[in-house]
Chains A and B, each alone.
Chain A
Amino acid sequence: QQQVKQSPQSLIVQKGGISIINCAYENTAFDYFPWYQQFPGKGPALLIAIRPDVSEKKEGRFTISFNKSAKQFSLHIMDSQPGDSATYFCAASDTGRRALTFGSGTRLQVQP
Chain B
Amino acid sequence: DAGVTQSPTHLIKTRGQQVTLRCSPKSGHDTVSWYQQALGQGPQFIFQYYEEEERQRGNFPDRFSGHQFPNYSSELNVNALLLGDSALYLCASSLRTSGSSTQYFGPGTRLTVL
Chain A contacts to B: CB under 8 angstroms: 6, 31-32, 34, 36, 42-46, 49, 89, 91, 93, 95, 97-105
Contact = CB atoms under 8 A, between A and B. Distances in A.
A42 B43 CA distance: 13
Contact of A98 (B35, B96, B108): B96
27 contacts: A34-B101, A34-B103, A36-B105, A42-B107, A43-B105, A43-B106, A44-B105, A45-B105, A46-B102, A46-B103, A46-B105, A89-B42, A98-B31, A98-B33, A98-B56, A98-B94, A98-B101, A99-B33, A99-B48, A100-B43, A100-B92, A101-B45, A102-B43, A102-B44, A104-B42, A105-B40, A105-B41
A93 B101 contact: yes
A45 to B, nearest CB: 7
A43 B93 CA distance: 12
A100 B92 CA distance: 10
A66 to B, nearest CB: 15
B24 to A, nearest CB: 13
Given A32-B101, A44-B105, A49-B102, A97 B42 contact: no
Interface of B: 4, 31, 33, 35, 40-45, 48, 56, 58, 90, 92, 94, 96, 99, 101-108
B33 to A, nearest CB: 7
Which 7 residue pairs of A and B lie closest in terms of their CB atoms, listed nearest first? A102-B42, A43-B105, A32-B101, A99-B45, A43-B107, A44-B105, A43-B108
A46 B104 contact: yes
A47 B105 CA distance: 12
Contacts of A99: 33, 45, 48, 56, 58
A15 to B, nearest CB: 26
B67 to A, nearest CB: 18
A93 B92 CA distance: 14
A6 B43 CA distance: 13
